Amino acid sequence: MMKKSHTLALFNDFEEAGQAIRDLKAVSLPGFRMEDVVIKSPIEHPELSEMLGDRPVYVQWFTLGGVLVGPLTGLILVASAQANFLLQIRGGRPVVPVPPDMVLTYEFFILSGVLMTVLGCFIGWKLPGRRSPLYNAKVSEDKIGLLIKADPLVIPKINEILARHKPIEIMGEDRR
Amino acid sequence: MSHTVDLHTPEDKDIHIERKFVPKPLDIDREVSWAKINKDVLRSLERPRPMFWVIFVAALALFSFGVYCEIYQYQNGMGAADLNNPQVWGLYIATFIFWIGMGHSGTLLSALLHIIHADWRKPIYRYSEAMTTFSLLTAALFVLIHLGRIWEFYYVVAYPNERWVWPNFSSPLVWDATAIGTYLTSSLLFLYTGMVPDLAICRDNARGVRKKLYTFLSMGWQGTDRQWANFRVTYMTLACLLMPLAVSVHSIVSTDFAVSQNPGWHITSFPPYFVLGALYSGCAVIITLFIVLRYVFRFEEYMTMPILNKLIKMTFAIAMVWNYLNLIEYATVWYGDNEVAKAQFIYKITGTYAPVFWGMVLCSTVLPFALLIKFVRTHMPTLLVVSLLLNLGMWLERVQIITPTFAHSQYPWTWTANWFPSWVQWGIVAGSFGWFTMLFMLYCKIFPAISMYEVKEMVHDQSKMLKARGQ
């Protein structure tokens, strides 16, 4: 299998980048898939991302896991500690009083939800990671980048398509 | 833009009413370029106005004095603070509630305004969230300071009893520590997650040690579509989780009082009263910091007058709800059948500590009406003084909840009318303000106090909206 190569085109605005994506979708090149197109932008642009097709986000499943596991852990932790006390001088009150324990259970519910959400986010971000394969600092300022991974033989054709939409720069791996 | 409506009267006389649509002032100039946003915010990290150093040095001096007082108290015992029975909490717990309250509104407002898509939050939410984090850190110090025996702090932590610590899980003090810990962790993660795209901007523009720091913290963020999509879901989910958490935290703080037997505290409306009080004081601080940061870091173009105006309106609305709940609290005592609570209330408004009560009424109940005056809203020095007085009022509110109640409780032996905090207490309280200011100013010098990517979004959305309207 041929090793894939990368190219990065920088555009002035979302419209130009959008048109380039539209053109890329219209062509059929061997060794190139739309799944390998990545938008890099200074702000989020959901409409542009939608053009790339469905790219599911799994953060909410982590949150669900967190909010289910958290309260159970909290309740078990508190109740088992209470049940474990050496002396149970409760004056007739229950050893594990449910209403007051709900407060800590609730806090564990939120805490676990938050921690798992952030964990899911970092997994989704694929971070921490190295900045690669091509990166241009202008992307964090005001330019829109299209990073494309394809067979090296197709890259010139892709660059040709990208060049039709007046990119301010096209970077190849040799110009990293 | 305008249009004319023709009305026909019975006399067939035409009346032309011309309705003029006056465009509202934009929250932020739509012509400002993205590159300029980066440049302006990054400049704030390097060259603030000299006032920055004045504030920082003053804060450092206050903090040093606070540390000295704490060491003195540690060496000489709690007697140095004049804390005794029944005045066991003094200014420490009053100030603890003040800081918790202040920390309340940064994250809560940021989350709430994010959920309802209030775009004007974008230039101000970052520093509000940072304010929350540092307020909570400051508040947590008072839990340790007021204990006296600092080494026994673990009794307030929800800690399993494998080492025979046996904490009381039914105690609001344990709930309190857990809630604050949860809130601090969550607020810190909320702040950090929201900051990652900006840290990448800093990384791309910094040199030397700063570059290393930002590279480490931004963890390789590149602004890819996948990263943004995950970011959007995460941020909204965190906002949704933080809203009820913030409400629960201050409700739990109120149970420190409400589940006790002290007269005047055993009131059902205490939790919402505390939550609103927290929001109120937090909003007042956000206004104070808005004015300070706007000047010190030259953020006039981003922290604009229309945004400040919205902030003031929100503060006024919250102040009015707080006043209502305050009134409810006193009415509950007055019309209730608890004679001790009634006597305690009369003592509060006429006794030794009456100046504290009336000071609170003046600063927190009467003064918010000054916000209705246009001059106050638009004249920065005046607004700064008013916002500081609102804060003072909210601090006095916390003092008048605690000190007069302990001084005139159920039993005559507790009646200690002439109790006054010692200089050590005042010093530690002043030190806490220094500690907070120092941390906050340092944060604003190291990390962007304005969210660059969100301001860019704001400018982008504003331009798109105006273009659609044909303006």
A125-129 mean pLDDT = 76
Using a CB-CB distance cutoff of 8 angstroms, which residues of chain B are in contact with residue A142? 33-35, 38, 456
ipTM: 0.90
A43 to chain B nearest CA, in Å? 6
Interchain CB distance below 8 Å, B457 and A43:
yes
Name the residue with higher pLDDT: A175 or B320.
B320
Interchain CB distance below 8 Å, A139 and B185:
no
Interchain CB distance below 8 Å, B158 and A41:
no
Interchain CB distance below 8 Å, B229 and A55:
yes
Q: pLDDT tens digits, residue range A12-36?
A: 888 888 888 988 888 888 888 888 8
Check pLDDT > 90 for residue B189. Answer: yes
User: Residue A131: its pLDDT value, please?
Assistant: 62
User: Residue A106: its pLDDT value, please?
Assistant: 94
User: Residue B234: its pLDDT value, please?
Assistant: 94
In the structure, what pLDDT confidence band is assigned to residue B23 with cuts at 50, 70 and 90?
low
In the structure, what pLDDT confidence band is assigned to residue A172 with cuts at 50, 70 and 90?
confident
Number of Cβ pairs closer than 8 Å across A and B?
Answer: 172
Residue of A nearest to B41 (CA): A141
Please check whether residue A62 is in contact with residue A120, taking contact to mean a CB–CB distance below 8 angstroms. yes
Interchain CB distance below 8 Å, B230 and A84:
no
Name the residue with higher pLDDT: B55 or A175.
B55
In chain A, what are the domain boundaries?
Answer: 5-56+133-175, 59-125
**Mean per-residue pLDDT over chain B, rounded:** 88
User: Residue B137: its pLDDT value, please?
Assistant: 92
Report the alpha-carbon angle B397-B399-B404, nearest 5. Answer: 110
Interchain CB distance below 8 Å, A130 and B220:
yes
In the structure, what pLDDT confidence band is assigned to residue B263 with cuts at 50, 70 and 90?
confident
Q: pLDDT tens digits, residue range B383-407?
A: 999 999 999 999 999 999 999 888 8
Domain covering B2-459, topology: Formate dehydrogenase/DMSO reductase fold (1.20.1630)
Which segment, B54-63, B83-92, B118-127, is predicted with the most confidence on average? B54-63
What sign for the dihedral angle of Cα B197, B203, B206, B209?
A: positive
Using a CB-CB distance cutoff of 8 angstroms, which residues of chain A are in contact with residue B243? none
Interchain CB distance below 8 Å, B170 and A100:
yes
The shortest CB-CB distance from B456 to any of A42, A103, A104 is to A42
Using a CB-CB distance cutoff of 8 angstroms, which residues of chain B are in contact with residue A59? 230, 233-234, 237
3-state secondary structure of A171: strand
User: Residue B162: its pLDDT value, please?
Assistant: 63
Percent of chain B whose predicted confidence (pLDDT) is above 90: 51
A110 to chain B nearest CA, in Å? 6
Check pLDDT > 60 for residue B147. Answer: yes
Q: How far apart are CA A72 and CA A67, in angstroms?
A: 9
The shortest CB-CB distance from A111 to any of B33, B182, B219 is to B182
Percent of chain B whose predicted confidence (pLDDT) is above 70: 93
Residue of A nearest to B252 (CA): A103
b (16+ CB within 10 A) / e for A77-99: bbbebbeeeeeeeeeeeeeeeee
The shortest CB-CB distance from B38 to any of A122, A125, A141 is to A141
Using a CB-CB distance cutoff of 8 angstroms, which residues of chain B are in contact with residue A34? none
**Residue in the structure block whose two tokens are 């962790």:** B185
The shortest CB-CB distance from B158 to any of A78, A110, A141 is to A78
Q: pLDDT tens digits, residue range B438-457?
A: 999 999 999 999 999 999 98
In the structure, what pLDDT confidence band is assigned to residue B152 with cuts at 50, 70 and 90?
confident
In chain B, what are the domain boundaries?
Answer: 2-459
Q: pLDDT tens digits, residue range B102-142?
A: 888 888 888 888 888 888 888 888 999 999 999 999 998 88
In the structure, what pLDDT confidence band is assigned to residue B2 with cuts at 50, 70 and 90?
very low
In the structure, what pLDDT confidence band is assigned to residue A1 with cuts at 50, 70 and 90?
low
Interchain CB distance below 8 Å, B197 and A104:
no
The shortest CB-CB distance from B233 to any of A59, A111, A128 is to A59
Q: How far apart are CA B282 and CA B274, in angstroms?
A: 12
User: Residue B170: its pLDDT value, please?
Assistant: 84
Q: How far apart are CA B101 and CA B253, in angstroms?
A: 9
Q: pLDDT tens digits, residue range A50-102?
A: 888 888 889 999 999 999 999 999 999 888 888 887 777 778 888 888 888 99
User: Residue A112: its pLDDT value, please?
Assistant: 96
Token pair in block for residue B402? 């605690």
Q: Which residues contact B168 (CB under 8 A, 6 or more apart)?
A: B174
Q: Which of B358, B356, B368 is nearest to B317 (CA)?
A: B368
User: Residue B151: its pLDDT value, please?
Assistant: 78
Integer CA distances (angstroms), B162 to B26, B121, B323, in order:
60, 46, 47
Preferred mutation among A55, A117, A139 to probe B, highest tally of B CBs within 10 A: A117
The shortest CB-CB distance from B222 to any of A40, A84, A121 is to A40
Q: Which of A72, A63, A77 is nearest to B189 (CA)?
A: A63
The shortest CB-CB distance from B245 to any of A44, A110, A120 is to A110
Please check whether residue A16 is in contact with residue A135, taking contact to mean a CB–CB distance below 8 angstroms. no
B198 to chain A nearest CA, in Å? 8
Using a CB-CB distance cutoff of 8 angstroms, which residues of chain B are in contact with residue A139? 222-223
What separation, in Å, do the N-terminal and C-terminal C-alpha atoms of chain A show?
Answer: 24
Preferred mutation among A48, A67, A110, A136 to probe B, highest tally of B CBs within 10 A: A110
The shortest CB-CB distance from A129 to any of B34, B193, B220 is to B220
Using a CB-CB distance cutoff of 8 angstroms, which residues of chain B are in contact with residue A39? 224-225
B61-68 mean pLDDT = 96
Interchain CB distance below 8 Å, A55 and B222:
no
A136 to chain B nearest CA, in Å? 9
Name the residue with higher pLDDT: B374 or B262.
B374
User: Residue B376: its pLDDT value, please?
Assistant: 94
Q: Tell me whether the omega of the peptide bond preceding residue B86 falls within 30 degrees of 0, making it cis.
A: yes
B41 to chain A nearest CA, in Å? 12
Token pair in block for residue B376? 């106050």
Q: How far apart are CA B185 and CA B197, in angstroms?
A: 20
Token pair in block for residue A79? 């109740």
Residue of B nearest to A130 (CA): B220
Check pLDDT > 80 for residue B9. Answer: no
A115-122 mean pLDDT = 94
| Top-level class of domain A5-56+133-175 | alpha beta
User: Residue A127: its pLDDT value, please?
Assistant: 74
Check pLDDT > 60 for residue B10. Answer: no
Q: How far apart are CA A40 and CA B223, in angstroms?
A: 5
Q: pLDDT tens digits, residue range A134-151?
A: 888 888 888 899 998 888
The shortest CB-CB distance from B201 to any of A46, A126, A140 is to A140
Check pLDDT > 70 for residue B211. Answer: yes
Interchain CB distance below 8 Å, A101 and B169:
yes
**Residue in the structure block whose two tokens are 């009369």:** B346
Preferred mutation among B183, B225, B247, B457 to probe A, highest tally of A CBs within 10 A: B225
Please check whether residue B129 is in contact with residue B110, taking contact to mean a CB–CB distance below 8 angstroms. yes
Residue of A nearest to B157 (CA): A104
Residue of B nearest to A75 (CA): B169
Interchain CB distance below 8 Å, A107 and B223:
no
Preferred mutation among A114, A119, A148 to probe B, highest tally of B CBs within 10 A: A114
Check pLDDT > 60 for residue B1. Answer: no
User: Residue A176: its pLDDT value, please?
Assistant: 45
User: Residue A72: its pLDDT value, please?
Assistant: 95
Q: Which of B415, B110, B93, B370 is nearest to B256 (CA)?
A: B93
